[in-house]
Amino acid sequence: MNMLPHDPGFPYRRRIVQIAIAIGALAALVWPGLDLGRRIAAPCAVVLTSAIAYAFVLGMLKLLSYLPRVVFVLYSYAFFYGRIVSIVTYPFFVSSIWTDPGELSQFEKVLWLTGVVPMSLAAAAGAYVAIDSERNAAQQRAAGAVRNARA
């Protein structure tokens, strides 16, 4: 049986995000060519920006939940699958960042190369939480309507 990533039964969704953040932070920690301060700051930046991406998307979608349900659901799915598309297209941009002649510092390259996938997955997780909460609210409304119809 095929499952879409937004299906409630999709396995290991939380673990995938946690593993991506851990791998991004470890890659930033062992990245060659960084001094001690940046070597400590890089993994912290990967974790922090992932948390900010999660909170920002979740907060923004919670604000959009005051719009009509159709608009909210469309925006939520657009954010969720937009982040997944950004992960799929990530390999196409790695070479341009890697071979950049010098516009980005070494630290910025590290953050781009190790942080994009964890941030995208964290943002997709925030969008999924908004989708799931809307799905649960819709199920509760439907169950309440059934109870009221029986009464």
The burial class, CB within 10 Å (0-12 / 13-18 / 19+), for 22 is middle
Tokens (6 digits) for 114: 């190790």
Q: How far apart are CA 136 and CA 50, in angstroms?
A: 25
pLDDT along the chain (151 residues), means of 10: 69 87 94 90 95 93 89 91 92 81 82 92 90 85 78 64
pLDDT of residue 28: 94
- CB atoms < 10 A from the CB of 91, how many? 8
Burial 99-114 (b: 16+ CB within 10 A, else e): eeeeeeeebebbbbbb
Report pTM.
Answer: 0.83
